[in-house]
Every structure is written in structure tokens, then in C-alpha cells.
Structure 1
Amino acid sequence: MFQVRNDEPAYAFLNSDGPMANKKNSYGNNIQTIDESSELYGKSLNINNDPAVGENPDRYKQHGFHFTADNCIGCHSCEAACSEKNDNPAHIAFRSVGYVEGGTYPDYKRINISMACNHCDDPVCLKGCPTRAYTKYAEYGAVLQDPDICFGCGYCTWVCPYNAPQLDPVKGQVSKCNMCVDRLEVGLKPACVSACLGNALNFGVIDTIPENRQQAKTDIPGFPRTDITNPNIRFQQTKSIPNEMSRTDSMSVKYHKNSKSTQYEPVVDRKKGIKRSWNISKLRSREDPLVIFTLISQAVTGAFIMMFVGNLAGIEVMQKVVASAAYLPMIFIMLALEMLALFLSTMHLGKPHRFYRAFNNLRYSPVSREVAGIAVFFNSLGAHFLALLLALQLPDMPLWQQIAGVSGYLAALSGPVAIYFMHKIYRIEARPYWNHWQVLTAFFGNMSTLGALMIAVIFVPVFLYNAQSVSSLLQLTSLLMVVGLLAEGTGHIFHARDLNVQGREGAVSYYEQVSTFGKTYLLRNMLLLANVFVSIALSFIAGDSLLTLIVWGMLVLSVLVMAIIGRAMFYVLVVPTTMPGAFFWKNRGFEAHARESGLAQMPQVGIIDDTH
């Protein structure tokens, strides 16, 4: 158990909830986590392999932080105490202090916000984690994470609205605030609370208002929506502040007071102006492997479905494709491309050698479901290839042809399912730019567009070499590309409209899209429009003329450029519902400057290359 000092000050000890406590919290959920009849009651947390059980009378009640914004002086003592207790390196902070400011001199106002994990009633990190590294304990309602189970995919850092899980690029794993449960077991408050100089941080049974406090609000200017996870933190903020509060970090977000609800809501802060720029270099991100993985997976899935289903449907040109001697090499190429995509996706993990843990949470995690779907598709496609190869070598054994048919059906069915779960990964409420049905139309649209393109790129040269007409093949693949491009374009139109209508961080992403990447965004849209018209024209042109082939070659390049730009923008434009940072700390702009200028080479700056 944690050793209590003899001279521990009185303010460091927890206060008992008492008999008159609330039974329900502000969200209508039970504060009591379990009763004495539960099999979990009286169990040890085995902290440092100690079998002792804490004697805290409120052990099985949901606990949480209380933050009095009026008292916070921004000294960062809570950060220092947390990092010291958890032995965190300079680039990792379980607790961070940011701030928002508003007004003009001399009536300038600033609110500091100290934030760590909120140990939510509905922790999305727990459901999203594919390795099941998270557990919500009955003891104190703490949401604890085991870094040794984590394989460093970082999905929990995407789904958490409060930036609580911290991905360490050096260790290749995530870790976060553990509520200092070792201190709670012996009746002490968390280290950050005990270190607070301004008496701004407090801790106890949730919705129990601390001494000398009047409020236990669930929101404060700069705090994300609470309906996503029902976070266990309460606020007091009584001093008057302006109707508009701005962030000092580089994120184009400010908070405007809603006259009806009196709550502060995120809106666009046009701090970067409205000038359109290219910023091609900024399209690179640590998610580059996922750009390649998603595009290749969608292309391979689409190409196989078109060939397999087209052959079954009796489409003459697809029957020629499947009957061609190049069909087996085509399947081999698709397997090789998908293997490359899977390799890049696996190496994107912090601990690639633990990739098999991705299957641990099929019940809840879309990541686990996507991995399972891709695995079934890839193995079915591999079985289809091997069975066809053996059928050619052993024509007297019809069994191999039957296996090829069954595995082909399985691949054709599992492929779209895998792409569907791939899209579900990005339907995250904490990332409004992604949380739109446009992701589905983009992914399935790419299946049709890139799949048809892949078929044409491989089989047009084969048909020409065999002195066969490519007219029907080009017309069919052009038509399939039109379907995919129109699906993607329709999604983009509604996506842009809905981002502005719904506001909040989604509107901020749209602002970044038309300003920071304005010219790149315009190029993508122009290429998309041009590709639609050219594909429509080619779908009506019958002939094998050199001009047709040249136009087709240009279309291939245009579609590839459009797809890569669009997918890269998909990852860099997302604006999460995170807490505001400070001028230096938790500021993307300063982090980029530190990496460019070499400051990141100094460990004390707390910034390292965003890779692992």
C-alpha cells in the first residue's frame, strides 16, 4: 500500500461522503458502483502486488475531480506533481493546464483549465480499444489502462474528447491518469489535488460539492461536450467573463456564449484569415501509412468483387477477364498489394509484434472488427488463388475448383463488410469532421473507382497484347468509375454543407479546408469533377484508338492524384473536441515550429518527433 507520511497535511486527505449523499449523479447514473452482494466487493486492486484491501468507506462510489476555475493561477504544480508521481518523461503529461481568454484591456479575462482523465461513466476509450487494455473498476469508478497490454494503435487518443490517453512515440504505447488509486486506498487525494497551490483542484465522491464551494457544473468555457462520455468532473466558475473566449494555441477555435442555453459553444476563429494556400508539405502526417492502407484495401476489394461478381452475372467482358491467363497473376498482384498495405498498417503500431491483440475486442471495437474483416478477406483471396493454381496443375481433381468458388464467394462477401467496419472506425463523435456518412460514400466510392481502375490498368495491356478489343472493357470500367466518383462527390457536397450547418469543430475543419489547404482542396474538387466528365465520356466511346488510350492514361493519373490528396486531407483536417492548450504547451503550432527549428532535440522542451 502507499506509504502515508507522518506529516501529511490535512488538506491531502479525502473527506467522507456522509449519509446524506446523492444517489444519482448529474447524468442520472448511480453513484454507487456495486453493492455488498457483488462478487467484486472486497477485492484487492493488487497495487504493486499488494493483496491488501483499502478501508476507504466510499470505495465503491464513483469519484471525480472538482475544478474551481476562479482559483486556478496557472502555476502548473498539478502537472508537475502528476508527472513526478508517475515518472513521466517531459513529452508526456497525464494532466495539462490550458487556458482561454477574452475581453480587451483593461477588462481582460482569462480562465485556466486543468484537465486529466475524467474517468467517465461511458468511457469510449474502453469500448474503442482493440486490445482491451482499459477497465472501468468498481473501486472509485476509476478507468484504468494497462500499457503492457496496449500495442500502440492510438485509437483511444482519437475517440477521447478530452485528450486524456497519451501516446508515447518512444515506448510505442498509451498511458494515462490512473486516478492515483494507490493514494485513494489509504485515504489520500490524488497527487495533483494535494499539490494545487490555489485550492482550485479538489477530489471526492462525484457531485459532492467541496467545502466553501457553491457550484458543481458539468461544463465550463473550453470544455468539450459532456453527452459523449458523461465525464466525472465538476466545475465552479462564478466570475463574469466576456461572451466570447479565444484559445491561445494555433487551433482555429473560440467559444461563444449561446444566448438561449448560456453555455459556451465552439465556433470558428478566423485567426488565419481567409487566404487560400497550398501547404502540400502539411499533408504529411503520422497517419501516412493509413492513407496507403485504406486506399489499397478499397482498391483490391473493389477489383475482386467486380471481377468475381461480374463473371457470375454473365457480363461478357468480365468473363473474358476471369478466363484470361492474366487472371491468376492479377490475383497475385492484389495479394501482394494488400500484404504491403497490411505491413504498413502493422508497422504503424507502436508495438508491431503485438499485432495479434487487435482481435481482442470484437464485441465493441470497430478496429477489431475491421482487422477481422480484412483478415477474412485476405485469407479468402489467398485461398482462392491457391485453389485456382492447384486446379490448373491438377485438372482431374474438381475439388480445387469448388474450393476456389467457395473462397471466392467468401472474399466477395467479407470484402465489403471489412470496408464497412473500416468506415465505422472514423465515425467518432469527438472528431466531427469524420463523424459523417460521407466517410461511407468515400470508402465505397473508392472501391468502385480504384477497383475499376486497377482492372483496366492490368487487363488493357493484356488484351492489347493478345490482339483483343479493349473497347468493352474500357466502357465498363469507365462506367464503374463514374458510379464511384459520383458517390464520392455527392458525399463531399453534403459533407461541406453539414459541417457549416452543424458548426462546432466540424465548421473549424471546413475553415481549415478552404483556407490552410484552400488551393489543394480546390485542386481535388476540380480533379474530381474532371474525372467524372471524362469517365462519362469514355463510357460512351466505343473504340481502341490511340487517343482513347492516351485519355485513359491521363484519367488514371488524375484519379490517383485525386485519391491520394483527398485521403491525406481526410487525416490532417480533423479538429478534435480537445481541451485548449497554452501558448507553448499542447500547441500544435509550437510543436511544428519546435520540430522545424530543432528545439525538439532538447528533451526539456517536451516535444519529440511525432513518429514511432
Structure 2
Amino acid sequence: MNNVIDKKIETKDPVDLSVGSFDPATMSVASPEQAGRSNHWEVRTQEQDYAFLPTHEDKSEIKEKNRYGQLIDCVDLSGLPKERSMFINENPEVGTNPNRNKQHGFFFTADNCIGCHACEAACSEKNENPAHLAFRSVGYVEGGSYPDYKRMNISMACNHCDDPVCLKGCPTKAYTKHAEYGAVLQDPETCFGCGYCTWVCPYNAPQLDPVKGQVSKCNMCVDRLEVGLKPACVSACVGNALDFGVIENTPENREQCKTSIPGFPDPEITHPNIRFQQTKTLPDEMNRTDSMPVKYHKDKEGYYKSVIDQKAGKAKHWNFGKLNSRENPLVLFTLFAQAAFGTFLIPFLTALFGVEAFTAFVKSEMFLPLTIVSLLMTAFALLMSVTHLGKPMRFYRGFNNLRYSPMAREGFGLAMFSAGCGLTALFSLPMNEWVNELSVDLFAVNLVELTNGLPLINLQVSAGIFALLAGTGGIYYMNKCYQIKARPFWHHIQTATSFLGNSLSLGALVSGVIVLATLIISDSSAELTNQALLVFTSVFTLGLLLEGIGLIKHNKDLNSSDNEGGAAHYIQCTTFGKTYVFRNTLLALNTLAAVGLLTANILGFNDINSLLVLWSVLALVNCATAVIGRALFYILVIPTTMPGAFFWKNKGFEQHARDIGLADNPATGVAPLAH
């Protein structure tokens, strides 16, 4: 915010009433529009009258609720005491606007926008943004045919929503919904750069700066609001397209307050505080000029719905090289975390159910190494998630928002799973003959005698159950992290079946190697070995079936979908078509082979060596399909974001600029991929 000043601004020359200057120290004004403004904040001189907020002294002008049924008075909405002053530090000189605690919002008249980008420039100047960031941006859609070709510009920033998904999703609590003006504010210094808010926001409002490693966004220019001025973008608008005020109060010279226009995502996702006017007739089909394979078609009711734009044709390609992305750490994070959970889950839970082969394994010396392997795999997964952060050393802030954020709960669940594995290993130490012998030889300490009288088995089982519960919570909230309405490609049951399927199939691979090797080396009976192999093959097959069923439903649903999820699936079937078919073919063959192997095991085929070789091949092939599938998962997702321009806010142009070296020029406005 602007610095507080206490010095009078002197004006020697006669004041032009059409322009006006304002003295924040004495409350003297040169224009009636500036009367009653706060004297606490510095005010820019030479502001035009249209730059000042309407005061709405007539309270009857302001509605009680907005069109979504939410109270417009933010104090009433928050449940704060009515008698509580909302002035900063109880200072009545701050915030003299009588509607200071009402929800404010932007009003955009698309008919007036000429695409001059003055709003972008004013916003970036005020916030000192680098070239690759813009809190407000202007995109456009166009359609028709010559000579009746039409274009509609859309100026968009943060919409300070009634239901801010960024606030609920942020694990660090960097976001706050303020009672003053209903502004959703974000603190870049609290942010640790995970970028989750950029995933969940349908409007591309939060901006992740890969150079600084943190997110920032539009703050509604609350410092200007405190002195009665509209946001900088509104004041700079040349065509009177942007306006600002108490939400639902239609500004002067406006006749509409719609909640959507072509190219705007479904307002039901967040209930945004922006209203539109668009009265000029547009073609039935409007196209985006960026590389997004989405266009908008007018339905029978006159609303524009997104449909797939097959810009890239239908040819299938491999594009293995494009599977590499900045999300690679998350590919490793999710796969290793899921595999670690399955590695511990399968033998421990099966032993709890009294399956003889696994009961014997848990009592053996090799249960401790298996637990440590699960712990190390989880630690590596968490390390990968930390390296993905813009500011890795602030990882501890990821637990700040356990009340709302699925990402915070995911991290907490996996951290507790690690703690549970650690405790299980700790209580297993005295019961492990190898460790006890080593302790006696190196430290002359007999762990059995040292822990005599402790219920180690009960403690081991309790710690293991705690680990299972925590791991279940971690994997559940890992799935919830990706059930995002703004990303329909992820917002599907296939995400859950993939995560659970990989937990079972990859977990069966890792734990199977340890358990089966232990049983074979310890000369256990063929019956116990076959029993363990049957369990692992069953779990492995179940994991593949779950993933396959999810993919079939995903393909069916997205093939009939016209939203951004269907557009992502179109890219999956074209740009990565051959890779997608290759992965699915491998998965299908692997599943059929696993079912055959399971059938042979059930029918009593007892050649353990042949079974182990076949099972190992299937498990390794599954590793390849899991990595390819997870890389596609991150690469393909298309958010319900706002239209860009041919150059600006165009992912296709950004990639082209990087390919030819144009991105090396900072003025191009293409951010580096990492800081």
C-alpha cells in the first residue's frame, strides 16, 4: 500500500474543477466527487472524477444479497459483532467509504473494449510486474466471415469470488478473504510457490513467477479504494469498458449485469464477483486465437458453451520428448508415494488377516528392511514434492491450512505415514536378530534385555495400523488434490482408480520382491511361497484392472464431452496419440497376462521359478506404463482458463519462443521454465 503522509499538498495555481487535486492531510478538496475521502492514505493528484468510487449514500440502492443468494454485507456474512468497528486500528479517519464492508466487484462491458491494453499497463505499472506477469490481461475471441467478421475482447483479473477456491486450496494460508470490500488478498511472502492456486482458479488470476518462485495476484487496489479511488485498471480504461463498485449495483450507462460471456468459465465454480454487458450480436461460433483447442458455440438458449476445436487435425504422433515437463518431480512424487504405501500395506494388512505366509514374514528379520524401504520411498517422494516448490526451504508452511487445503492434508497424511513406518521399524529393532547381534558386537548392548517387559509386538502392530490409516488418508487427499472443477481432465473417477491401481500394482512389485525372496531363501515350504505368490498376483491384477476400468470410462466420458476435458483428450489422441495407444496396449496385454498367471496359480501350476519370471516381467512392464501414464496425466490437462491472444497468454507461442530462442529476450514476456 502507499505510504502514510502528513504533509499538505500545496497548489499555487487555480485548480481546474474537471481534474482536481486532493489534500489528504486537511481533507480539502478541489472537486465535489472527492468530498469525505480518507485522510490516511496518499492520493495521487490529478485524478479524473470518473476514477472515484460511487458512495451510494442512498442505502436503498444496495441489494441485501447477490444473485447467488450470498449476503453482500461482508460483516453480516462473517458473523462478526455488529458493533465492532471495521476501521484499521479503530481509526475513523481510515476507510470513510460508507460501503467499505460491502462486497465490491468489477463490471466489464465487452461492447466498449477496444483491446488497447491500457488496463494491463496500468495494473503492471502500479504493481511493478515484470514482463512475463500480468495480474490483468486482455484476450479475445472472434468469429464470422468476411465482411461480417467480429471480435470480442475480454479484460480479466482476479474476480474476488464468493467461494475463492484459491483460498481453500492454498496449503500455506497465503490467501485471505477480507471484510473490507470483499477483496481476496494474497501474501507472496507467505507463499512457497507450489502453484496449486493456479491449478484450481478457473480464471488464471494467481500468477506463479518462476523467477521469484512465488505467486502473486490482483489485490483489488485496496490502497486506492481506501481513499475512494477505483482500481488502477478501471481508472485507466480508455473505452469505459471497465467499471467497479458494490456488486449487483449496475453502474451508470449500463443496462446488463450478466454473469457470463463467450469464453468465460462456468461461474458456478466459484461465484465470481464480476458482471458483464455484451449487447452486440455475435456469430453463433466464436474461436480462440491462442493454441487452445477450444471454441464456443451458441446453444438454443443463447449461451455460449465450449466445444472442441480440432486445430491440430487427427493425425497421431509419438512426441515422447514432450512428456518431459516441469511437473517431473510430481510424477516421481505421486508414483513413489503410492508405491511406498502399497509396499507396506500388502504384507502388513494380509498378516493382520492371518494369512500364514505373511504372518511368517512379519515375524522374520526381513520385515524391518521392508518397513525401512517404505519409509525411504516416502521420504524420496516428499523430497520430490519439495523440489517442485518455488521456495523449497519453506516446505514446512505446507501444513498451515489443514482445515481446508487437500494439498496440506495430503502432505500431512504422508508425513504421518512416514512417522508410522519409522515407529514400526523402531519397535521391530529389538525383535530383529541381525540388529541385536550387531548391537551387541558394536555397542555391547543387548536390545532384547534392554526392552524386556515392553509389549513390543503390540506396539509394532499399533504403529503399523497407524501407518496404514495415515497412508490411506494421504493417498485419499492426493486424489482430492486433483478433483478440480477447473481442470475437467483430472476431475474424474479415473484419477482415483489410477492412484489406487498404482498403489496396488507397484506396491505388489516392491513388496513381492522382498517377501518372495525371503520365503525362498529361508527354505519355506512351497505351499507358503505359492500362497504369497497368489496374493501378490491377485493384488497386482486388481491394480491393473482398476486402472484399466478407469481409463475405459475416462475415454468414454471425454469422447462425448465438449469441455476442456474433451479438448485435453483430443490432444491425447492426436499430439500424443501413438504414445497413448502404446501405453494402453501395454496395459491391456499386461492385464490379460496377469489374469492368465493368476488363473495358472489358482489351478495349481507349481513351477515357482517360471511363475516368478513371468510375474517379474509383468511387474517391470507395469513400471513403464505407470511412468508414461503419469507423465501424460500432467502434460495433457487443459484448465478452464480465459482466452489469450495470438502472442500474449498463448501457450503455443510461448513454446515457439522457447524453441527459437526468442524467449531469451525478457521483453518478449515469456517466463523461464524454472528459477
**Relative to structure 2, which stretch is displaced further, 592-601 or 192-201?**
592-601
1:2, distance to aligned residue in structure 2 (A) = 4.0
Residue 578 (structure 1) aligned to one of 641, 645, 663 = 641
State the partner residue of 1:480. 539
The separation in 2 between residues aligned to 1:44 and 1:499, in whole angstroms, is 51
Tell me if the contact between 2:342 and 2:507 (Cα under 8 Å) persists in the aligned partners: yes
**Relative to structure 2, which stretch is displaced further, 457-466 or 68-77?**
457-466
State the partner residue of 2:502. 446
CA distance 1:39–1:598, shift in 2 (3 Å): farther
Aligned: 1:17 with 2:56: yes
Tell me if the contact between 1:101 and 1:246 (Cα under 8 Å) persists in the aligned partners: yes
State the partner residue of 2:355. 315
Aligned: 1:491 with 2:550: yes
Give the 5 Å matches for 1:3-402: 3-19=42-58, 20-34=61-75, 37-38=81-82, 41-44=85-88, 53-259=94-300, 261-392=301-432, 393=436, 394-396=447-449, 397=452, 398-402=454-458
The separation in 2 between residues aligned to 1:52 and 1:548, in whole angstroms, is 81
**3-state DSSP of counterpart to 1:122:** coil
The separation in 2 between residues aligned to 1:270 and 1:41, in whole angstroms, is 56
1:317, distance to aligned residue in structure 2 (A) = 2.4
The separation in 2 between residues aligned to 1:51 and 1:10, in whole angstroms, is 24
1:460, distance to aligned residue in structure 2 (A) = 3.7
Tell me if the contact between 2:52 and 2:229 (Cα under 8 Å) persists in the aligned partners: yes
1:327, distance to aligned residue in structure 2 (A) = 2.3
The separation in 2 between residues aligned to 1:560 and 1:250, in whole angstroms, is 33
State the partner residue of 2:10. none
State the partner residue of 2:444. none
Residue 411 (structure 1) aligned to one of 467, 476, 493 = 467
The separation in 2 between residues aligned to 1:520 and 1:536, in whole angstroms, is 24
Tell me if the contact between 1:255 and 1:267 (Cα under 8 Å) persists in the aligned partners: yes
C-alpha deviations, 1:226-262, integer Å up to 9, x for none? 0011101111111111011011111100001111x31
C-alpha deviations, 1:417-475, integer Å up to 9, x for none? 21111101111111111111221121111111111111223344444444555544333
**3-state DSSP of counterpart to 1:108:** strand
Structure 2 alignment gaps of length 5 or more: 1-39, 437-446
Matching residue's letter, 2:86:
G
C-alpha deviations, 1:118-174, integer Å up to 9, x for none? 001111111111111111111111110111111111111111110100111111111
The separation in 1 between residues aligned to 2:104 and 2:644, in whole angstroms, is 25
**3-state DSSP of counterpart to 2:423:** helix
The separation in 1 between residues aligned to 2:335 and 2:329, in whole angstroms, is 10
**Relative to structure 2, which stretch is displaced further, 101-110 or 473-482?**
473-482
**3-state DSSP of counterpart to 2:377:** helix
1:495, distance to aligned residue in structure 2 (A) = 1.7
Tell me if the contact between 2:199 and 2:486 (Cα under 8 Å) persists in the aligned partners: yes
Aligned: 1:611 with 2:674: yes
The separation in 1 between residues aligned to 2:111 and 2:194, in whole angstroms, is 38
Tell me if the contact between 2:530 and 2:608 (Cα under 8 Å) persists in the aligned partners: no
State the partner residue of 1:433. 489
The separation in 2 between residues aligned to 1:342 and 1:333, in whole angstroms, is 14
1:545, distance to aligned residue in structure 2 (A) = 5.5
The separation in 2 between residues aligned to 1:390 and 1:250, in whole angstroms, is 61
Give the 5 Å matches for 1:499-518: 499-518=558-577
The separation in 1 between residues aligned to 2:243 and 2:505, in whole angstroms, is 55
**3-state DSSP of counterpart to 1:349:** coil
CA distance 1:40–1:585, shift in 2 (3 Å): farther
The separation in 1 between residues aligned to 2:628 and 2:356, in whole angstroms, is 35
Tell me if the contact between 1:34 and 1:41 (Cα under 8 Å) persists in the aligned partners: no
CA distance 1:40–1:127, shift in 2 (3 Å): farther
C-alpha deviations, 1:475-526, integer Å up to 9, x for none? 3211111111111111111122222344311211211111111111111111
**Relative to structure 2, which stretch is displaced further, 495-504 or 479-488?**
495-504
Higher relative contact order (CA 8 A, sep 6+): 1
The separation in 2 between residues aligned to 1:17 and 1:111, in whole angstroms, is 31
**3-state DSSP of counterpart to 2:249:** coil
The separation in 2 between residues aligned to 1:574 and 1:368, in whole angstroms, is 22
1:575, distance to aligned residue in structure 2 (A) = 1.0
1:39, distance to aligned residue in structure 2 (A) = 6.1
CA distance 1:184–1:151, shift in 2 (3 Å): same
The separation in 2 between residues aligned to 1:505 and 1:244, in whole angstroms, is 16
Tell me if the contact between 1:449 and 1:480 (Cα under 8 Å) persists in the aligned partners: yes
C-alpha deviations, 1:284-331, integer Å up to 9, x for none? 222211111111111111121111111122212223432343322222
Tell me if the contact between 1:132 and 1:361 (Cα under 8 Å) persists in the aligned partners: yes
C-alpha deviations, 1:203-244, integer Å up to 9, x for none? 111122222121111110000000011101111111111011
1:598, distance to aligned residue in structure 2 (A) = 1.5
**Relative to structure 2, which stretch is displaced further, 399-408 or 111-120?**
399-408
**3-state DSSP of counterpart to 1:5:** coil
1:5, distance to aligned residue in structure 2 (A) = 3.3
Percent identity over the alignment is 56
**Relative to structure 2, which stretch is displaced further, 50-59 or 269-278?**
50-59
Matching residue's letter, 2:242:
L
The separation in 1 between residues aligned to 2:465 and 2:133, in whole angstroms, is 48
The separation in 2 between residues aligned to 1:486 and 1:40, in whole angstroms, is 59
The separation in 2 between residues aligned to 1:382 and 1:602, in whole angstroms, is 50
C-alpha deviations, 1:328-374, integer Å up to 9, x for none? 22222222221111111112111212111111111111111111111
Tell me if the contact between 1:17 and 1:208 (Cα under 8 Å) persists in the aligned partners: no
Tell me if the contact between 2:57 and 2:98 (Cα under 8 Å) persists in the aligned partners: no
C-alpha deviations, 1:263-302, integer Å up to 9, x for none? 1011100011111111111212222111111111111111
Tell me if the contact between 1:500 and 1:506 (Cα under 8 Å) persists in the aligned partners: no
**3-state DSSP of counterpart to 2:98:** coil
What is the Cα-based RMSD across aligned positions, in Å? 1.9
State the partner residue of 1:532. 591
1:45, distance to aligned residue in structure 2 (A) = 8.3
Aligned: 1:599 with 2:662: yes
Matching residue's letter, 1:478:
T
Matching residue's letter, 1:527:
L
TM-score by length of 2: 0.87
**3-state DSSP of counterpart to 1:99:** strand
Matching residue's letter, 1:595:
R
The separation in 1 between residues aligned to 2:608 and 2:98, in whole angstroms, is 84
Equivalenced residues, count: 608
The separation in 1 between residues aligned to 2:89 and 2:302, in whole angstroms, is 42
**Relative to structure 2, which stretch is displaced further, 517-526 or 326-335?**
326-335
State the partner residue of 2:632. 569
Structure 1 alignment gaps of length 5 or more: none
